[in-house]
Each structure stands twice: as C-alpha cells, then as structure tokens.
Structure 1
C-alpha cells in the first residue's frame, strides 16, 4: 500500500509555510514603513544612549541627525498590518511543525515508497538513529533550520517590543521565505525547479528505474539506512544544536538591519547583545559537539581536521565573537559601532556562505562532510546574493547616520584593546575562509572560461595551524590586558597591576615547559599566552564575584578559552603513539611507494587472537570479535550468535547471560544492531589492572569497511585506540585444501605449523547439537597443540547415531585450524584426521595517548557557561531599560 496522503499533507504544509512567510514579510514591511513615518513626525528616543541630541564618542561630541525626544516614545496607533503579519508568522511556524511531523511520520513508519525515507533510513535502526535520519538529508536540515528560526521568531514577537517588531520580523520572515523555498519542490518545465521536496515518491525521484516500468506500485522492503558514521549519539544532538546556533545569528542581524532601517544605528546594540552571547554559546558548543563526534567516530586521531565544512562553521563563530566585543564599546566609540555593524552583518552572511559551500556541491572531493548537489546551487547562490545585496545597500545608504569620532581612541583605553581583540579574531577568520574558498575561486574562473591552478594545501592541518596558533597567542594575551582595562585595574599609563600576574605566568609556564618537556618555541609561546590569560582572568574573577557574580560572565568565558588552548596544545601537540611495531613485520606495503618514512609500519601493531604482545607499559591481547544485541547490555562473542544476513537478527548458539541474568536461551532469536563488529582488546598495565577497549569496524555496502575508535579515559590523558586493518567480519573463512593425517595415540604431527600430539581418544555421552540415544556411540579425540602461548586442546568427535555417521569438527580461530576425526581403524590402532588451514584471526591496531584532552572539554563547558551568564545579565538589563 502506498501512503500518499501523509506526503500530500506534508507538501501542503511546505507550500503554506512558504506563502505565509511571504505574507508576513510584506505585512511586516508595510507595518514598518508606517511606523517609520510616525517616527519621522514624532521623534523616537534611543533610551540606551548616554546623550540626547549629541553622541559622545571618546570625550568628544558629534552632532547626530536623528531627532531624540526628552522622555518616552509617543504612543503609536493600532497597526492592522502588524496583526496580520503576526498571524501569518504564527501560521507559518505551525506549518513548519506540520512539515516536520509528516516527514518524521514517513521515516518512523518506514514508508519506503518515499525517496527520503528510502535514502536515509532502514528498519534496523533504533529510534534515536531514526531521529538522526530526519536531518541527514539536505531537505531535513533545511527544515530543522526553518523550525529553529520559526521558534525564535515567535519568541521575538512577544519580547522585542512594538518599536522593533515590525522591521526586525520583516527580515526574519524574508529569511524564512527563502528557507521554505529550499524544500518547496516546485518544477517548471523540464529543467527549472525551486527547492527539493522531501515528500517525493521513489518513482517520482527515480522515474527511469527499470523496476517501475514492470511494477509501478513497487515499494522496497527496506531502505539504504543511515550513514554508518552518523550512527552515534552525538549525531542525535549535534545537528540540532548547530542549526540552533545558525538561527541565533539571524537575531542580531535582524536587529542590526532594523536599526539601520530606522536610522537608529546604535539602538539595536543593547537588545542584540544578549542574543549574540547566546548565539556564540550555542554555536560554539555545537561546533565542539561535532569535534567530539569526530574524536569518537572517525579514526584520524583527533577532533579537528581543518576540513572545509568545519571551517565554514568555525569562521562565522569567530566573527560573531568579534562582533560581540565591538558591541561592548559601541556606545563610546564610533569605530566600535561601525565595526559591530559590519561584523554582525558578516556573521549571518557567512552562515549563508557556509550553507552554499556545503550544499551546492562546490567543494566536491575537498571535504568528507559536504552534501552532493541537489540542483539547488543556483537557488542557494540567489539566497546568498540577495541578502548580501540587501545588507550592503542598506548599510551604504544609512552609513551617514553613524557619527564619526573626531579623535582616535588612545592606546591606554579599553575601547582600543577590545577593538584590537576583535580585529585579531576577524583576521583569524579571514585567513581560514580565504583558503577554504579556493574551490569557489576556481569555479568562478571556470565560469569565465579560464582555468585556475589554485589548489587546497596538501597538508591542511599544518597550513592552518601555522597561522592560527599565532592568532590565538595574540588573542590570549589580549584577553588578559583587555580585562584589566575593562575593570580599571590599569588606567592611563600605569600598568603596574599586570606585574604580579605576569610573574606568576612566567613561573607556572616555566614549570609546565620543564615538566612537559616542551622544546618547540611556538608551543612555548602559546602556553605562556594561555597561562597569562588564565592568571589575569582568574584574578579578575575573584574580584568580581566578591561584588556581583552576575558580572563575571566575561572573565569565566576567557578562563574557559585559556583552558581550551592549553587542552588543544597538549592533546594535539604532544599526542604520543604507543602502538609501536617492534616485531620487524611489514604491516603496510603502501610505505614502499610513498615518502612516508615507513610511518604506518612503525605506528601500527599486529595482534593475533589470544596472543599477548607488549606495547609500552601495557600488555595487549586481542580477545576476538564482538557484536551488540539490542536488549542485552555489553557485547556478545560473535561465535555465540549465528547472524542472519540482511535481517539484523541472529540465533543464539548458547544461553546468553550477562551479569548473572539470562536474556536468551540457546536457539532463541535475538535482535542485533546492524553493521557494527567490535574487536575486544584487553589491556593489562604494569600494576596488573585490566581493562578492555572495543574499537569497531562497520561494514557498509556504500562505503566499505569503516573503522571507529574506542577511548579509555583517565584524569590526565586518554588512551585512543582504533583498528587499522581487520579481516572482513562478514566474509566466511576460506579453508585451504584438506590435508589427511593418520596417527596413533601419542603420535606427533603438524597443524598449521604447530606441533600437535594425539593424547587420547575417549568415549563421550555429550556432543553439542546432537542428541545421543542408548544405542548410539560417540568418541572424542584429545589433540594437544603446542604454540608459543602455551597449549590448546582440540576435540573433534566421531558419532554413530541411528546407524548414521557424523563427524563434528573442532575449529580454532586462534590457530586457524579445523580438524575432523574421519576414521577409526581398530586393526592398526590409528586414527585418521582431516585438517584444513585458514588465515588466523588478527587485527592491526593503532593506539595514541592524548594528554590533558579533558582540559579542552572542560574549557568548552566553561566558555559556554560564561556566555550564558553574560547573556542573562544583558537580557535583564534590557528588560529593565524597557520598563523604565
């Protein structure tokens, strides 16, 4: 049965959301024009300004052209257009929710007749990953962005006040109209379309597929499933957090555009500050969630790889933080106000630019994260250019209303240092985006018929680190100096207050350099700067919380930033490979053909099943393959379950017990998680403490074998382990040609290069999988195999049941041997064995130590807390101002 109703309803909601966004845009625009005319007749006060009639910048006065009333704003007449706009926006928000409900209903109920559900989900996925399927595709991510914007817009309608609502929400609604158009899915003719609908049926999305010629009602039994790299709990919360950060950047942008529109170039700063702080917190934590996902899921050994998609989000965050700092000095510095205007506009435009980069397909193979082009690159470009043109044109026309400083800010003022800090942040962002945009330059040149030879750096990590380290050295130093100036610890030319934290910085840094054996001058500079930021901001924090803890947000955020830099320095700069290969075995042949200086062979170690190997201070033993059952805690031995291929279920080969509780009996069917095979690696340290890690490999038809790490966390470091190479866990053993041995008891023979001794053949009454009756007979051989790890006993059996002969073999993955007792000759006393050999079970693994990486994660949380605390204070201040 094809469920077309829910798709039709969803598409109706998409169209409704687009139309109501347009209606809200027009209605708010007309309402804003009416209020602007009223404001021209009756002057409007900018209550947060420290002047009336004149602007005071740096002790000087500059005449302003906008009239300012002495008291409160005159009451405004009822606005029918505003009422219409509100209802239109509320209906738009409800329609967006309706679209989301319909799409999730399709995914959750496995309606694979829909292309989106078939492409991104499967029946085997647990609920949390079904949620992730919602935003794996481009249409779902646009819908998520729409939802957050609609939610924030509804909040702003209730909180922004009548003065700001109309011009600001006109911008908001216009953005929503553009976003809604991305999932509109309206086609004109054969080539031109607006948006890509998530409610396309499979037969509509793939009309040329042969199956629909023979069976127009064909519905796949299962979908392609979620990208295995996204089957991680961080991918359930990282995208929503990141897109909420995207949505937050729209709020200060809308306030800024509204302020310019209303000829009030400073008035927008105060209401926008709290939203900018929240946006910086949410976007920052979203970025770090992505970093933590990469750390836990990808096997490049870190959390940040300077991938173009990572850069595309990192740059707007840097600019947003820079804009935040210039907002703090906008009241007293015209330069600060102009810079805040430029950076606030740039933050949102950079979000649009990052969307274009990641969803237009322009990055091609330059990124492991980018989406493929859905044919929306032209529409995305129009979206970007429309707001670039709108913002630049409005700023150019209204620039004359921003007063100009008659005198430059002194180097001894806080305004100067905050501006310098914002400038350094902006330069750091520029350096990243200028390199990340190389594919865009090439595409532009190609469109003009020219060939560009520009290429991304071959070693992107080294390229970006070379510049970004020095930017953050400067930023760390500036946070300390800026905070002392802000809290008037230093005034004028008297900077004596910095002597004590400076001495403490040198002492602590010297100790860390000596203890950590830091020899690289660049690392030394970053460490000293980070410790200086920690000491100065820590001192400021102690003084502030004695007075009013609500004022401590800035100091807390700067302390968190300093801790993050220290964590990054040690975890990235002093990461140590501990899986050194001392066996002399050639693990990777690729090094023979590259200039890799035999790196892969040196940094990977080979582990045979149940064969201990020494690795640094640890003794490692590979204990075998493990799988996960849905309702059984921990991991199960893969040999204990026969996996039913393609069904994500298995048959228990023994009773499944965990922690003394019986979950399944032998022969029961149990549900399994798809695609993942875990490899238990047992660590034993020098004190005898034993723990196990379970790095995994995922087998996926689209992407092949994908390895993900497991991490053992200590207070001062992480032990990061992943498999570099494994036998295909889904492939059956390939047994070599059968070899036959005829031996007597106590005779010696060879099994796969191991010495074997037939110790005995004894009668038995129990054979796994065979019920023996009173007239049946069975014997079991005792074959002792000698290896360097000790002895192992194999017990093949010979059974006569109901006058039929059975020969149950014994298989040892550790030895790579299958042995079968074929014949018993009572005349000679000899026993005939059939032996097959195969590849022994093994893994090649790599392990690294990441010192002080927890300092990075702790610093991230502290930065977020500082931003949130500062946002709450700024919002309360704005609320009090509105009530005054």
Structure 2
C-alpha cells in the first residue's frame, strides 16, 4: 500500500499546487492584491514541493522492492530475478512501462523545483498540469500491482537488456522528454502574459539542454544497437526510434527560432508554435510506442497494456489546449519581418528551422503510417527507402545553410564573404573527390559530404571571428562529422557471407580470419566464438551469444575490430553441428553399399487410409554387415499434410531413414547415419563487414552533445541562473 498511497498523495498535492498556481495567475492577470498573489504562489510552491517528496518516496519504494526481491509485485516479477546483478536491478526500475513513467515523473518534478524558483504562476500551473497527467498514468498502470499468488523468483530482465547501456540510455532519453516540458510551460506563460522576451530568454537554455539530452539518448541507443544486436547498423528507421527522432528534429527547429526571436520579436509566433508542439510530439510518440499500435511494426514497442486510451486523451488534451491558446492569443503576438535580407544571419536561422521542420514532418508521416493504416483497415509500414530517399536532399540543404550561414552576420550583411572565403569551396571539392574514391556514388551524397567538410572549416573560422559561440561551432562541427560518418559507413560499406569450419582460415577484405572454436562463458550465461585475425597483432574477435534461462540463444553480440579508417564487423549466425547422413536411391531388388553396410530394396507398401489415423508409407530393406543380415522397415508418416520420417535402427548403431518414395519410378531414397561416428566439425555462417569511417559517427555525436550543452551553459550564464 505504500507505493499506491505515495502515488495518490503525489497526485492530490500536485492538483492542489496546480489550483494554487492558477489562482495566483488569475490574481496577477486581474491585478488583485499582492498578498493574495503572494499567498497563492507560496501555497502552490509548498504543495508542489510536497508532491516532489511523495514522488521521491514512490521511486525509492520501487527500487527497494526490486532490490529486495519482492516478487509478490507483478512489476518486480516481470523484470527482475534473484540472480540479477545490482546494476541490472537498477535497470529493471525503468525496463517496463510503469517504471519508465515513474522515472519520467521523477525527472519532471525535479525540473519543476528549479522552474518554481522563477515564481511564474502561469508556467507552474501548466507544468504541474503535465505532472498530473504522468501521475494519473501511474495510478492507472501502477508498478505496485500485486500477483494473485506470491512467486519464489522472477521472470528476469530480457537478456538483450542486460547490458551496461541499459543503465544509461533510457534515463538520458527521459531527461530530454522531461526537459521539453519547460519550454512548453514557458511559452504558454509568455503567450498568456505578453512577456515575450522573457519567455524566449528563459526557454532557450532549457531547450538546448533537452536537445542535448534527447540527442545523447538517441546516439547512445544507436551505439548500443551497433555494438550488441549484431545486424550491422545503428539506425533502422524503426517507428519507435523515430518517435524520439521527431521531437529531436522539432527541438532543433525550436532552438533556431528562439535564437532568432531574441533579435526579431516577429519570430515569437513560430517559436511559440515550435515550443508548444515539440512537447505535443513527445506525448504523441509516447502514445504510439506504449499503446500497442506499433507492436506489429517495431521490436521496441510495448504491447497494449491498457494505457492507450488515457494516453490518447492526454495527447488530444495537450494538443487542443496548446492550439486553442495560440489561436486566441495570435492577434496579440508580435508581428513584423523575420529577416531584413537574404544575406543575413536571421534568414539562415529561419531557413534552418524550416529544414528541421520539414525533416520532422517526413519522419512523422512515416512513423504514423501504421496508425493511419490501422484506422483505414489496412495497417502497414513504410520502407527504409522512403526515409533515405526523402531525407537526403533535405539534409544536403541543411548542410548548405550551415556552411554558408555561419559566416553571415546579423542584419543585412554587405561584406564580400564569398570572395574572401572562396578557398573553402576548394576544400569541399577535394572532399567530394575523396568521397567518390572511397566508394560513394550517389550525387546528393557526394555533395553532402563536400558541404559537411566545408562546415568543419567554416565553423572554425566563424568561432575565431566571433560570429559564432564555441558551443554552436562545436555542435555544427559534430553534425558535419556525423553526416560524413553516416554516409561513408552506409553507402561505402562492404559485406560478405562466409562459412567456417573450426581451424579453417579465409581471407576477407585483405585480412586472414581463422575460426578457432567455441568457448563457454565462465558464468554459464552464453558462449563465445573465437576468430583470430592474422597480421593484426594477433587480434582475436569473440562474438558472444547470450542464453536465456532455457539455455536457448536470446541475443548475439558481434565481434568488432576498430581501426581509424574502418571497423571490421563480424556477426556469426547459429552454429550448425550435426552427425552426417549418407543417402542412396534404390530401385526394387537393387542393392548398394554405404557406411560399411549393404542395403537391398525389397519393396514398398502403405498402411492406413487417412480417415481414422496416419497414412504410413514404408520401405522393406535387407541390410547386411559382415555377413549378417537384418530386416529394416523405415517409414514415412503423412500427418497434417506433412511427411514425417520414422527412422529404423539396425545392428544397434545405424539409423535408416526413408526420405522419399517414387511409385512412378519404383525407387526409394534412404539415409544412413552411423550413430557411433563422431560428428562432423561444426560450421558456422558469418557475415563479415567493413564499415569505413564509422567511428566518425560516434565522434560527431559526442561533439554535438558537448557543443549543445556548452551553448546552453553560455545562455545560462547570460541570464545569471538556470531558470
């Protein structure tokens, strides 16, 4: 009852705080007495802090019951077990729907305590209202539901999730989701009160922080997929992956519009729209991934667990409320021109925001296709080719804007920039040539690589000339490096399938690979398959196969040999190990020798009529070994439309299996297996890939994250504090 009571009390106190903040906002907007305004605001803060205490108690209690193996709770039984290490019991906290919503609420209330210091009752009323939604979901779908009967042990965490990145990836994503609620609340406060410069300045650091967190979460997920899943990629345009990418793209548009709104109040309208609907997109993505709508289209999606309806209502409530406020207050919002001239920093900021928006709309349409199709009675998903074809031209346009716009100043820039920096175009041309030599053949991709190389140089020049902050410059450089890595590692990648026998060596991509065998995990949770690479300082790659509790393969981690220019990526398939079987086809009265046996085909026959039992086709054989003869009668059973062999054993060590009978030709095909013979050496099928410049993807994403945080810190310092 402790968990339920804590959630309920958090919901009640959040509701009271919301009412108090609304009352304070009404007092402020109607210019009523200062004591009433101050009193309502102080009460709101008190109850909001009290709600924070109850949410912390809820989170601590969930962690307590997980660590102490309280398997009478359905959530603990479903995601934890006694043999799970402490670090993965921590991961079990957010492995399921209920725990992840609690983690979101925990981050949300933490940011709310920071936001409350600003003493803006309207913003806090909105922010607390969002918290009511999260707590309502937790009350409906609680992590403290009890099982009908206590269990001695839990089902455990999915072996695929038993990875150190599971400790980091989800929390970082939810930091981004929670952070995007702050610009949403600030925008409504500014739109309602008319304090436009204030809300823009206040929302910008939060937007940058949320952008960095959400981006870092996406990047970590991509690295996790590349390192663990063994399919060779890091992004598959999965609908659930896209549900995080769309808010990230929308936040990119919002950040650039907020930067523009600092100098052009006319940008407040699009900036407000972006701030409001970026968070609406977060709610919409949550609905898609947790309502079961994508369960047939994504390996990441949750099944329908009874929260789809309430999530859909919250999405509609948030979207309709935000749109209504915009429509009502639209005439009172600042008007004017967004930019004074095409050759101005303002124009390039606006154009960049438009490209981010267009990219977001394309991905939004693609990820929503299953939902739309379901409503029309024909659920389906779009292919990855749709995303690749539509986003690449827009990405080229984006890098063009960044390459040119970073050097342009505010206002109408009359300087001869292009004449002064035309040497940068030469660098772009050289990069295009290198990309073509490296295996990229698509024209748009080549142009994108050239422009991305130009961005690196342009950003350094812009920072040195103080036309761009260090954080923004690092972010732009990171984006350029990431794009170069993505294009090379996807378009210039090479893959071959090779079959290995233990001890066998084969040369692939100029490297000699030798399969040295299999060894068990010392903890008994899986096995390694070892490959040595000749000429690479005796490097050994050991792809790892995790086993579930039944001893079956549950997840496969590839072997990766990292080099500066490329990764060698080795992903084995299932090991094949069978005792060999020799086959012979015989006519009636014909005899043949195989595996030390002489087999003579006497006749075939049939039993059963198919109405009350199985139809059986048999072959009568005379089998001779060392002068001794035994009669054998292997059969084929017709069951449910399938022919199933029923083997027959002779001389205590040979198994004869009838595999085919041709009544037209009068032949029988028989397989012979010596059960005492050692099995053939196991063979495994391996996909070996060479992924050029893939490490630029990881390096670039680090630069993006660090640069965005750096830019956010700079804006915090300009305001004096993070509020």
TM-score normalised to structure 2 length: 0.83
Quick one: distance in 2 between partners of 1:846 and 1:393? 54
Quick one: distance in 1 between partners of 2:369 and 2:439? 38
The answer for the alignment partner of 2:687 in structure 1 is: 846
Quick one: distance in 1 between partners of 2:101 and 2:23? 28
* Closer/same/farther in 2, CA of residues 619 and 878 from structure 1, 3 Å limit: same
String of CA shifts for 1:115-154, please: whole Å, max 9, x gaps: 1111111222222111111111100000010000011111
1:869 aligns with 2:719: no
Quick one: distance in 1 between partners of 2:419 and 2:430? 18
- Trace 1:139-154 onto structure 2 (pairs within 5 A): 139-154=98-113
Quick one: distance in 1 between partners of 2:573 and 2:411? 55
Q: Does the aligned pair in 1 maintain the 2:430–2:450 contact within 8 Å?
A: no
Query: Which of 425, 430, 434 in structure 2 is aligned with 1:507?
Result: 430
SS of structure 1 residue aligned to 2:466: helix
1:620 aligns with 2:513: yes
String of CA shifts for 1:267-319, please: whole Å, max 9, x gaps: 31001111111111111111100101111111221100000001110011011
The answer for the alignment partner of 2:628 in structure 1 is: none
The answer for the alignment partner of 2:527 in structure 1 is: 677
String of CA shifts for 1:613-652, please: whole Å, max 9, x gaps: 33342332223323333xxxxxxxxxxxxxxxxxxxxxxx
- How far did 1:78 drift? 6.2
Quick one: distance in 1 between partners of 2:4 and 2:722? 44
* Closer/same/farther in 2, CA of residues 751 and 625 from structure 1, 3 Å limit: farther
- How far did 1:266 drift? 3.6
1:30 aligns with 2:23: yes
- Trace 1:24-103 onto structure 2 (pairs within 5 A): 24-38=17-31, 79-103=38-62
SS of structure 1 residue aligned to 2:296: helix
Q: Does the aligned pair in 1 maintain the 2:159–2:546 contact within 8 Å?
A: no
The answer for the alignment partner of 2:88 in structure 1 is: 129
Aligned length: 636
String of CA shifts for 1:777-811, please: whole Å, max 9, x gaps: xxxxxxxxxxxxxxxxxxxxxxxxxxxxxxxxxxx
The answer for the alignment partner of 1:277 in structure 2 is: 208
Query: Which of 1, 6, 12 in structure 2 is aligned with 1:13?
Result: 6
Query: Which of 455, 461, 485 in structure 1 is aligned with 2:384?
Result: 461
Query: Which of 130, 136, 140 in structure 2 is aligned with 1:175?
Result: 130
String of CA shifts for 1:175-202, please: whole Å, max 9, x gaps: 1111011111xxxxxxxxxx11111111
The answer for the alignment partner of 2:647 in structure 1 is: none
The answer for the alignment partner of 2:612 in structure 1 is: none
- Can you give the 5+ residue segments of structure 1 that lack an aligned partner in the other structure? 1-7, 42-74, 185-194, 204-217, 446-450, 578-602, 630-671, 738-749, 753-832
String of CA shifts for 1:464-489, please: whole Å, max 9, x gaps: 11111111111111012221113789
SS of structure 2 residue aligned to 1:437: helix
SS of structure 2 residue aligned to 1:725: coil
The answer for the alignment partner of 1:58 in structure 2 is: none
* Closer/same/farther in 2, CA of residues 270 and 702 from structure 1, 3 Å limit: farther
Quick one: distance in 1 between partners of 2:391 and 2:324? 33
The answer for the alignment partner of 1:200 in structure 2 is: 145
Quick one: distance in 2 between partners of 1:561 and 1:406? 29
1:604 aligns with 2:497: yes
String of CA shifts for 1:449-471, please: whole Å, max 9, x gaps: xx3x46322xx222211111111
The answer for the alignment partner of 1:544 in structure 2 is: 466
* Closer/same/farther in 2, CA of residues 494 and 862 from structure 1, 3 Å limit: closer
- How far did 1:27 drift? 1.0
SS of structure 2 residue aligned to 1:361: coil
SS of structure 1 residue aligned to 2:541: strand
Query: Which of 229, 238, 258 in structure 2 is aligned with 1:298?
Result: 229
SS of structure 2 residue aligned to 1:366: coil
Quick one: distance in 2 between partners of 1:490 and 1:498? 15
Greater Cα offset, 718-727 or 488-497: 488-497
Quick one: distance in 1 between partners of 2:113 and 2:392? 41
String of CA shifts for 1:198-223, please: whole Å, max 9, x gaps: 111111xxxxxxxxxxxxxx432322
- Can you give the 5+ residue segments of structure 2 that lack an aligned partner in the other structure? 583-593, 597-673
- How far did 1:751 drift? 11
Q: Does the aligned pair in 2 maintain the 1:736–1:837 contact within 8 Å?
A: no
Query: Which of 349, 369, 377 in structure 1 is aligned with 2:308?
Result: 377
Q: Does the aligned pair in 2 maintain the 1:474–1:529 contact within 8 Å?
A: no
- Trace 1:351-750 onto structure 2 (pairs within 5 A): 351-405=282-336, 409-445=340-376, 451=377, 453=378, 455-457=380-382, 460-486=383-409, 490-491=413-414, 495-510=418-433, 512-544=434-466, 551-577=469-495, 603-629=496-522, 672=523, 674=525, 676-685=526-535, 689-699=538-548, 705-727=554-576
Query: Which of 845, 857, 876 in structure 1 is aligned with 2:698?
Result: 857
- How far did 1:77 drift? 7.0
- How far did 1:109 drift? 1.5
Quick one: distance in 2 between partners of 1:627 and 1:321? 47
Quick one: distance in 2 between partners of 1:681 and 1:276? 47
SS of structure 2 residue aligned to 1:341: helix
TM-score normalised to structure 1 length: 0.68
* Closer/same/farther in 2, CA of residues 514 and 464 from structure 1, 3 Å limit: closer
